[in-house]
Amino acid sequence: MSRYLDWPDYLVIVALLVLYLFVGVFYGFRSHFTKLWHCICHSSTKEKSPEENLTPADDIFLGNRKITLLPIVASTMASFMSAVAIMGNNSEAYCYGIEFVMLILGYCIAFPVAAEVYTPVFYKLGVLSAHEYLELRFSRLLRWLVTVVFCFQMVVYIAVVLYAPSLALSRVTGWPVYSSILISGILGTFYTALGGIRAVVWTDLIQTIVMLGGFVLILVFGCQQVGGIERIWEIASRDQRLNVLDFDPNPFVRHSIWTLMIGGAGMTLTIFATNQTQVQRYLACRDLKTARRAIHLQLPMNAVFLSVQMLTGLVTYAVFVGCDPKLNGEITDYDQIFPHLVMRLFSDIPVLRGLFLSTVFAAALSTLSSGVNGIACVLVEDVFMDIYLTVSKGSRLRRSRLTFIARFIAILFGLVIIGLAFLLQVVPAGVLRISFSIFGAIGGPILTVFTLGIIFPFINKWGALFGFLGSLVAGLTMIVGTLYFYTFQEHVLAPLTNATCSIVNSSVSTSAPSLVTAVTPAPPPEYGFSFFNLSYLYLTPFCLLVGLVIAVPISLLTGKLPAT
């Protein structure tokens, strides 16, 4: 098998990158093209195009609130269907089985709640940033605090997302990790800064198609190489990879039905209910009905994508059964097993290797572009415009200047994210766990403060402020405590071995001995109690509970304030 990519692979990757750049350039200069067209075709009239009558901020960040359902649905899903999810979910199924698919139960709770409870509030207010609601409901101070925390949350998360595909590309191209980080980071930042929300949404649609095509390819070729879906299911069943019904109520268990349903619902809400990058898409819809439909459609689409990723993990396990690439020294971490699988399956078809690795690239770029655009939106609307309107006494800012400021912020934070991605090379924890911990422990307090305002009308600004701060401190304490005091050793449900590597070449040996009979897993060792062993999926409910416990009594003691 060829170790590195060939020139046809690079050609496919470069072609897709050029396509993304073209979309960014097109929407970046679309207004100029429109004006030129009007000058040519309507030189004798002085009529303005409809877009000229809209506010510059609406145009840049919301696409004039006229984006249709299809690109919104695809973009909403692609924004957090990142390389973290693709690579992390694959290694999750490979090492622990497909129990993670039960996260779909959390989807069944979270998406209807996001569509019917949170989104109507933002849409009916006609706000540009979700954080504007916090000033209307509570105070300007709380709005600014949440904006700062959101920016920190997204910078760290996007850095993780940027690092993951860079690791993949480094593994299969031989490039240093830093070169891949620079290429993907600069590209995503450039087309986002240039094209705004329209470029982000339409490139997300393209990237969704690329991701879906990549998964279909690996399933087809994987099943063909292993010997069919029946053989994959047989191997997975034999080696304990079909573990989906664990009803253990222990909150310190890594995954169970309850952690995935309750904790998964909370984690999903932090992303799809109150995260600015997603709320921005709902606000860009033509009407509230379209926004609600876009969220409801996330349930089946995310369920299908998650199921496909778990099935891909089973294919990965079947391909490498008996010859674990990490134990064999071919990879250094299971987060690298996904690109390694690509090189294995498509060793004789160079173009497909490039196409499928573009899936990882597309996933990273979609999250990077969405996050950078969301950061630019909240900083322009929540910070810059707030200060500008106060100083200028309400005078309107020219579109060209606002565009420049938005692009400058996008580029600045893109560079910060690239720098942070370099530092992640020394972080020992798995990619998937890092990303979900960030959204649980930092996104949880943001979800908490919005929930306090929307669900509990008696909560006042003091209760919300201290509830948010207490929730944030609790979340950060859990992250730090987990890094330094985490004592529970995650137990691989079925053993991994390289005992049959001598008989495995470029195809899977269908006569490999059962790993269950060859190596019997030892029971997990007993450890002393530590609260930091709490399942990472419960971080969001934990933060929400802390916020409620603090906010309710403070609001009752300081007096009720009616909701605005």
- HSE at residue 166, side-chain half, CA atoms within 13 A, is 26
pLDDT band at 2 (very low <50, low <70, confident <90, very high): low
Please say if the pLDDT value at position 488 is more than 80: no
pLDDT digits (tens, 9 = 90+) for 99-141: 999 999 999 999 999 999 999 999 999 888 899 999 999 999 9
Question: Do you know the residue count of the chain?
Answer: 564
| CA-based nearest residue to 142, from 374, 449, 383, 552 | 449
Please say if the pLDDT value at position 349 is more than 90: no
How is domain 7-13+63-428 classified at the architecture level of CATH? Up-down Bundle (1.20)
Q: Which residues have CB under 8 Å from 84's CB, separation 6+?
A: 160, 161, 164, 367, 431, 432, 435
The region, left, alpha or beta by phi > 0 then psi within -120 to 50, assigned to residue 246 is: beta
The DSSP symbol for 512 reads P
Give percent of the chain with pLDDT exceeding 70.
80
pLDDT digits (tens, 9 = 90+) for 28-78: 666 555 555 455 555 444 444 444 444 566 667 777 777 888 888 888 887
| CA-based nearest residue to 463, from 121, 138, 117 | 138
Please say if the pLDDT value at position 433 is more than 70: no
Strand, helix or coil at 285?
A: strand
β-partners of residue 67 are: 285
pLDDT band at 275 (very low <50, low <70, confident <90, very high): very high
> What are the DSSP calls for 205-261, one per residue?
HHHHHHHHHHHHHHHHHHHHHHT-HHHHHHHHHHTT----------TTSSS-HHIII
Encoded tokens for 221: 């070729």
Mean pLDDT of 310-328: 88
Name which of 123-132, 276-285, 359-368 the model is least confident about.
Answer: 359-368
Give percent of the chain with pLDDT exceeding 90.
26
Please say if the pLDDT value at position 438 is more than 50: yes
pLDDT band at 470 (very low <50, low <70, confident <90, very high): very high
Mean pLDDT of 186-197: 80
